Amino acid sequence: MAESRLEKIKRIMANAEKIRNIGVCAHIDHGKTTFSDNLLAGAGMISKELAGDQLALDFHEDEQERGITIDSASVSMVHDFKEDTYLINLIDTPGHVDFSGDVTRAMRAVDGAIVLACAVEGIMPQTETVLRQALKERVKPVLFINKVDRCIKELQLTPEQMQERFVKIIAGVNKLIRNIAEEEFAEKWQVNVNDGSVAFGSAYHNWALSVPYMKEKGITFADVINAYNADTHKELAEKAPLHLIVLNMCIEHHPDPRQAQKYRIAKIWHGDVDSEVGKGLMNCDPAGPIVFVCTKIVVDKHAGEVAAGRLFSGTINQGQEVYQVMGKRSTRVQQVSVYNGPKREPIDKVSAGNIVGLVGLKNVFSGETVSVEDIEPFEEIKHIFEPVITKAIEAKRAADLPKLVEVLKQVNKEDPTLSVEINEETGENLISGMGELHLEVIENRIVANKGIEVKTSPPIVVYRETVTKLSPVQEGKSPNKHNKFYIKVEPLSDELYNAIRKGEISERRVKKKDVILVEQLKKFGLEADEGRKVKDIYNGNILIDLTRGIVHLSEIIEIVLDSFEDVIRNGPIAKEPVTKLKISLMDVKLHEDAIHRGPAQIIPSVRESLKLAMNSGGPVLFEPLQLLQFDAPIDYMGNLSKLVQNRRGQLLDMTQEREMVTIKAKMPVGEMFGLSNDLRSATNGRGTQALMDQMFERLPMQLQKDIIRKIRERKGLSTEE
């Protein structure tokens, strides 16, 4: 009797060398989901006739209505290569920048990325973003140039012109890898058309080619053009099926989990690699201690919360008891399953190196580390962009308020890039997201899936608070006057702030001597003496303990860090998040008796000294800005320039290629509401925009007072100076 697909998966998943964990990522509309459909069809999981139309991994209604991927989706496929059978765990990720958090989380689970680039559009801003997300997690890229049929049918390029276009795209991707990747991978991970780490084709017409395959089968560029001219491209799909070329490329050029973890673990886990846990992780050891990292929460109406993620070490059996490191609780795994798009298929156990779903974990969240004991957790999953737009959301019916609070908590788990602030006293809840589309999708899902009628405020911009100069040392006293904290603040250097923002220095509480961190901080300008005393790196801020010989400080340091993080989340100017601060704890006076230095005494005194220091350090608001790229026909250049300048934007660059103009501009988020509609009007619907980067810069001084007053009024704070 023939072995079923699930039986094959169970057999192969025990052999890490025969596993490939890969993510498909690209700029929006470069054809990822159609591409993934064809891989599934090739693996016999969906009908070949429906591939490209079924969009098997866009299984939510709103994804199909909008024609874009909103959630990443996983699938486990079986593929035969050189008389061996391999297990391919694939994650299809979103291309729209508002949902880029899903790409970041998917990259924690995979070891290789297939980066798609459109043959006509070439490298776009989001192509660079997804490469940055992959390389940050030490995920090795290969390149697929898609939509080659458009080069033939629309642009009518000759074979030489097509090759020239491909060479330009490949060179552009390699330049990005060289600039973004760490030194040891910058050259090693260059994609090369001759070795087969570059393929090209048409996901829509289900064919692909690579240079080694063309040589082997005697196919040329001219044959491809002739197939379209003679309308025989279906025969091309028979000769060179997309799934065969692409999955062969992944098996040859992507590492297996055992190879990948040898260089990935040091980057994403900061524990002792010589410990038992460290060795299990480095070797992807199925007999080692269990270490699972959750990268996505999916809510199943029958099973409840399903934690999807990667098992880096050990073997998890159904019914086994595990320990949630961040949640500090033991729980039992009720079900282990592999993914087939919208469906989960239960299995008895899973070994290291696989991407799976676990049912039974309690209040788990993305980034949670699961083991059998309390171990050093994996590094927090750091999203490349921060939420910059907020809406107040409330239930239309008062009776739905408790239900809405629960739904918002659930939505926040499913999408951690969404920031949710719940005020159960006033009934006002704030949701902050990446952009207008992000919040619109969340709002629609609450109404459609949860059945709650809601009303929302117009979008609000999330500002940041910081200081402009070194403050004097400020004293904060505890309510009982027995404990005193002395703190000063100053602006963090641009170099160090940018390194934290880009993820070159990871944000975390520093619990023990970390020589690597000290060296990293030194590289970006922080003296080694101060680097050794860093206690917390949080939301682009650093706390340094410069005290000497304070008895009992170690007993309350966690409370101090909690208080510091609380002020960072709600600054003194307008309760907006704080950024780019270097905070120095200069001295502490503590009561001898532990009962007089509990949280109720320590928290207010730390808050007071930190807020006083900020208020005396020239406090200002920073506003979020986005670096945007606009593309439109050359006739609309004047309209585009006017559009940017009328919204307090700054033109940075303007280039012309044939009949198209590309404009790069820096624009304040507060001036961007309704920009998409205005862009359509200004270009008769022929202009596009794409986000390249995000940053915070000082709000013009003439606007500071007015904006601060408006924020304080909105939050019900006193507006008196």
SS3 16: helix
- Pair 540, 509: CB distance under 8 Å: no
Does 396 or 196 have the greater pLDDT score? 196
Q: Residues of the chain with pLDDT > 90: what percent?
A: 28
Q: Residues, the chain, total?
A: 721
* Distance between CA atoms of residues 17 and 320, nearest Å: 26
Statement: residue 67 has pLDDT above 60: no
Q: What is the pLDDT of residue 66?
A: 40
Q: Is the pLDDT of residue 53 over 70?
A: no
The CA distance from 533 to 302, in Å, is: 49
Write the DSSP string, 634-659: GGGHHHHHHHHHTTT-EEEEEEEETT
Q: Give the angle subtended at the CA of 162 by the CAs of 158 and 167, to the nearest 5°.
A: 150
pLDDT tens-digit readout, 197-230 = 999 988 888 888 899 988 988 888 888 888 888 8
What's the pTM value of the predicted model, to 2 decimals?
0.76
* CATH code, 465-617: 3.30.230.10
Q: Are 585 and 487 a contacting pair, CB within 8 Å?
A: yes
Lookup: tokens for 219: 């196919």
Which single residue is written with the structure tokens 């991978």?
185
The DSSP letter of residue 109 is H
Secondary structure percentages of the chain, helix, strand, coil, to 5: 35, 30, 35
Name which residue leads in pLDDT, 704 or 397: 704
What pLDDT does residue 47 have?
Answer: 45
CA distances from 100 to 127, 176, 307, 387 (A): 11, 18, 19, 11
Q: What is the mean pLDDT of residues 565-586?
A: 91
**Residue 546 and residue 487: Cα distance in Å, rounded?**
10
Domain 389-462 fold is Alpha-Beta Plaits (3.30.70)
Whether 88 shows a pLDDT value over 50: the answer reads: yes
Q: How many CB atoms lie within 10 A of CB 720?
A: 5
Q: CATH 3.40.50.300: which residues of the chain? A: 5-255
CATH 3.30.70.240 location in the chain: 621-706
**Could you tell me which residues come within 8 angstroms of residue 492 by beta carbon, excluding any fewer than 6 positions away?**
540, 541, 542, 580, 581, 582
How far apart CA 17 and CA 11 sit, in angstroms, is 13
Q: Which residues contact 646 (CB under 8 A, 6 or more apart)?
A: none
Q: Which of 99, 163, 145 is nearest to 437 (CA)?
A: 99
**Residue 96 clears pLDDT 60, i.e. is over it:** no
Nearest one of 583, 610, 609, 618 to 698, comparing CA atoms: 618
pLDDT per residue as tens digits for the range 504-548? 888 888 877 778 888 888 888 888 888 889 999 998 999 999 998
Q: Where in the chain are all domains bearing CATH 3.30.230.10? A: 465-617
| Residue 282 pLDDT class (50, 70, 90 cuts) | very high
* Helix residue ranges, H only, 181-315: 183-186, 211-217, 221-229, 233-239, 242-253, 257-268, 276-282
- CA nearest to 310, candidates 270, 263, 367: 367
Q: Say if CB 558 and CB 584 are below 8 A apart.
A: no
Mean pLDDT of 621-631: 88
> 169-195: per-residue pLDDT in tens?
999 999 999 988 888 999 999 999 999
Summarize the confidence of residues 257-272 as an average pLDDT: 90
How many CB atoms are closer than 10 A to CB 669? 20
CATH architecture of 621-706: 2-Layer Sandwich (3.30)
pLDDT at 97: 54
Instruction: Copy the structure tokens of residue 591.
Output: 């009561």
Burial class (CB in 10 A: 0-12, 13-18, 19+), 652: middle
- What pLDDT shows up at residue 251? 92
The CATH number fitting domain 265-371, selected from 3.40.50.300, 2.40.30.10, 3.20.20.140, 3.40.50.12780: 2.40.30.10
Q: Is the pLDDT of residue 16 over 60?
A: yes
Residue with more model confidence, 12 or 387:
12
- The DSSP element (H or E) to which 373 belongs, if any, is none
Please count the helices (runs of H) and the strands (runs of E) in the chain: 24, 32
Q: Which of 98, 95, 96, 76 is nearest to 87 (CA)?
A: 76
pLDDT at 272 over 90: no
Strands 140-146 and 112-118: parallel
Question: Do 4 and 340 form a contact (C-beta atoms < 8 A)?
Answer: no
pLDDT of the residue at 426: 54
Q: Predicted confidence band at 149 (pLDDT cuts at 50, 70, 90)? A: confident
At residue 42, the pLDDT reads: 57
The more confident residue out of 3 and 147 is: 147
**Most confident stretch, 186-190, 401-405, 423-427, 553-557:** 186-190
Q: Specify the CATH superfamily of domain 5-255.
A: P-loop containing nucleotide triphosphate hydrolases (3.40.50.300)
Written as one letter, the residue type at 497 is Y
pLDDT tens for 501-515 read 877 888 888 877 778
Please state whether beta strands 650-657 and 619-633 pair in parallel, antiparallel, or not at all (unpaired): unpaired
Closest CA to 16 of 283, 335, 268: 283
